[in-house]
């Protein structure tokens, strides 16, 4: 097996990187973040023109027909430049969930076409206050409201791009079963409040539903299967974004260590700085390797994709936090100032490490997938000779 990207995929990376350097430099992202702006409409439109919103969506559903590998490359380059999280919310989360649902119904397929074209900003509302990812949706209740429709009552929190999305995919409890419901941004009884978080470059919201009407996309086993598929994509592609951010931190730290002089020598020649940068590289390569394996496993539908996705998320979380913090220290006193970009990466690293479960949560998940959970059978006893 070869987990490295092909030459064509690396050319694709170069094209995406050049586009983002031109249209979404960090300086522009920073200004918009400090103003509290939502997604950049010009960037969103140009990404739609390049087909980036539906890159992994099948062609017959309005996408480009590529795979998770190409989407991971885009995520990595977006993470390197701290582009706001609306793309992750819409293309990675909403489109992936709709893709898993589209074979079961025309409603999901129609919505997927709109998200893939960039006509809608989608997101998922799965997190419950003080409870985490709600697969079975007990905190939001769905009540029948007509053929194929329900009304929702309840609250979801930490909804990425929740204040900006015009399509929300909500998990709910319907007749004792897990259900997935599509709600438009202009639906009645929908209240969205922006949450001020640690990451200045991504806008989250708490969403409250009060008799809010929506379309029932799936329930029961199809809904749970779609949520499982979404989890694999979410963990893996968030890990790709984190690897991109960590890579950028390392590049900035090494460049500064070569440029900054003390006692007539570049600080990168000092053993302490040199060893710190080497440790950063080692952490990055470990996280990148785990991410690449998870990308391959999800793309290939390998049975190990659940464990691979959790381990990728765990290692990427550890690496990003360590590298972002170390890069800030390499920059010295300047790295601690508001004007420097180091704190933006550290904020994103902390927020992303907690999103969808921290490293400890995913290590426990990895052990469960590997058969070492609390319910796993004991290992066979070795008979003495």
pLDDT value, residue 383:
46
Measured CA to CA, the distance from residue 63 to residue 278 in angstroms comes to 41
Q: Single out the residue in 79, 97, 116 at which a domain terminates.
A: 116
Q: Are residues 271 and 172 in the same domain?
A: no
Looking at the domain assignment, is residue 382 inside a domain? no
| DSSP string computed for 19-52 | HHHHHS-HHHHHHHHHHT--S-HHHHHHHHHTTG
Q: Do residues 309 and 232 touch, judged by C-beta distance below 8 A?
A: yes
pLDDT value, residue 264:
87
Count H helices and E strands in the chain, helices first.
12, 11
pLDDT value, residue 125:
94
Percentage of residues of the chain with pLDDT beyond 90: 72
Domain of 177, in residue numbers: 122-219
Q: Are residues 83 and 202 in the same domain?
A: no
Say which CATH number the domain at 130 has: 2.40.110.10
Find all residues with CB under 8 Å of 305, minimum gap 6, and list them.
Answer: 232, 236, 294, 297, 298
Per-residue pLDDT averaged across 356-368, rounded?
Answer: 91
Of residues 200 and 115, which shows the higher confidence score?
A: 115
DSSP class of residue 92?
I
Q: Are residues 239 and 365 in the same domain?
A: yes
The DSSP bridge partners found for residue 169 are 124, 182
Say which CATH number the domain at 64 has: 1.10.540.10
| Tokens coding 267 | 């600080």
pLDDT value, residue 146:
85
Looking at the domain assignment, is residue 376 inside a domain? no
Q: Do residues 330 and 277 touch, judged by C-beta distance below 8 A?
A: yes
Looking at the domain assignment, is residue 89 inside a domain? yes
The answer on pLDDT for 382 being more than 90 is: no
Cα→Cα distances 48→2, 41, 77, 99, 255, Å: 31, 10, 17, 18, 34
Residue that has been written with the tokens 């400090």 in this structure: 34
Please provide residue 209's backbone torsions phi and psi, each rounded to the nearest 5 degrees. -110, 125
Q: Are residues 81 and 136 in the same domain?
A: no
Q: Single out the residue in 219, 251, 267 at which a domain terminates.
A: 219
Question: How many CB atoms sit inside 10 A of residue 34's CB?
Answer: 11
The answer on pLDDT for 222 being more than 60 is: yes
Say which CATH number the domain at 311 has: 1.20.140.10
357: alpha, beta or left? (left if phi > 0; alpha if psi -120 to 50): left
Looking at the domain assignment, is residue 312 inside a domain? yes
Measured CA to CA, the distance from residue 326 to residue 341 in angstroms comes to 14
3-class SS at 129?
coil
pLDDT value, residue 71:
96
User: What's the number of domains the chain is made of?
Assistant: 3
Predicted confidence (pLDDT) per residue in 92-147, tens digit: 999 999 999 987 568 899 999 999 999 999 999 998 876 666 555 578 999 999 88
Q: Are residues 233 and 303 in the same domain?
A: yes
Exposed, middle or buried by CB within 10 Å (0-12, 13-18, 19+), for 49?
Answer: exposed
Residue (of 177, 219, 185) closest to 115 by Cα position: 185
Looking at the domain assignment, is residue 145 inside a domain? yes
Q: Do residues 85 and 201 touch, judged by C-beta distance below 8 A?
A: yes
Q: Are residues 250 and 334 in the same domain?
A: yes
Looking at the domain assignment, is residue 346 inside a domain? yes
CA angle 365, 368, 374 (to 5 degrees): 120
Q: Do residues 205 and 163 touch, judged by C-beta distance below 8 A?
A: yes
pLDDT value, residue 303:
92
Q: Are residues 260 and 354 in the same domain?
A: yes
Q: Are residues 165 and 232 in the same domain?
A: no
Q: Are residues 266 and 337 in the same domain?
A: yes
| Tokens coding 163 | 């204040």
Q: Are residues 140 and 173 in the same domain?
A: yes
The answer on pLDDT for 336 being more than 90 is: no
Q: Single out the residue in 56, 85, 116 at which a domain terminates.
A: 116
Per-residue pLDDT averaged across 306-320, rounded?
Answer: 97
Q: Do residues 195 and 158 touch, judged by C-beta distance below 8 A?
A: yes
Per-residue pLDDT averaged across 245-269, rounded?
Answer: 92
Find all residues with CB under 8 Å of 296, minimum gap 6, and list them.
Answer: 1, 3, 69, 302
Q: Are residues 189 and 243 in the same domain?
A: no
Q: Are residues 339 and 270 in the same domain?
A: yes
Looking at the domain assignment, is residue 128 inside a domain? yes
Measured CA to CA, the distance from residue 20 to residue 81 in angstroms comes to 8
Looking at the domain assignment, is residue 105 inside a domain? yes
| Tokens coding 180 | 């997935």
| Tokens coding 250 | 């390392």
Find all residues with CB under 8 Å of 260, minimum gap 6, and list them.
Answer: 266, 267, 332
């Amino acid at each position: 097996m070869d987990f490295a990207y092909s030459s064509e995929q690396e050319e694709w990376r170069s094209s995406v990187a050049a586009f983002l350097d031109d249209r979404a430099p960090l300086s522009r992202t920073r200004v918009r973040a400090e103003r509290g702006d939502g997604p950049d409409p010009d960037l969103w439109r140009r990404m739609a023109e390049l087909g980036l919103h539906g890159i992994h969506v099948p062609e017959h559903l309005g996408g480009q027909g590529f795979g998770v590998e190409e989407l991971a490359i885009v995520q990595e380059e977006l993470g390197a430049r701290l582009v706001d999280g609306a793309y992750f919310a819409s293309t990675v989360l909403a489109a992936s969930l709709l893709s898993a649902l589209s074979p079961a119904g025309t409603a999901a397929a129609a919505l997927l076409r709109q998200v893939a074209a960039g006509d809608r900003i989608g997101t998922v509302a799965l997190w419950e206050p003080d409870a985490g990812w709600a697969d079975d949706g007990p905190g939001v209740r769905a009540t029948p409201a007509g053929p194929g429709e329900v009304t929702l009552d309840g609250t979801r929190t930490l909804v990425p791009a929740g204040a900006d999305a015009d399509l929300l995919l909500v998990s709910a409890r319907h007749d004792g079963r897990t259900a997935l419901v599509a709600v438009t941004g202009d639906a009645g009884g929908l209240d969205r409040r922006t949450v001020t978080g640690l990451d200045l470059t991504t806008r989250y919201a708490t969403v409250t539903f009060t008799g809010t009407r929506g379309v029932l996309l799936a329930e029961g086993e199809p809904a749970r299967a779609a949520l499982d598929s979404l989890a694999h994509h979410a963990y893996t592609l968030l890990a790709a974004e984190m690897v991109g951010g960590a890579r950028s931190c390392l590049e900035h730290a090494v460049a500064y260590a070569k440029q900054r002089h003390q006692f007539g020598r570049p600080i990168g020649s000092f053993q302490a700085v040199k060893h710190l940068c080497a440790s950063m590289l080692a952490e990055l390569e470990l996280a990148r390797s785990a991410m690449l394996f998870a990308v391959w496993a999800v793309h290939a539908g390998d049975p190990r994709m659940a464990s691979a996705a959790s381990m990728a998320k765990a290692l990427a979380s550890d690496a990003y936090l360590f590298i972002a913090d170390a890069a800030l220290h390499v920059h010295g006193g300047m790295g601690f100032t508001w004007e420097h970009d180091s704190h933006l990466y550290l904020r994103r690293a902390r927020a992303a490490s907690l999103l969808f479960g921290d490293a400890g949560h995913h290590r426990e998940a990895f052990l469960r997938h590997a058969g070492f959970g609390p319910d796993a059978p004991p290992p066979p006893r070795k008979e003495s000779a």
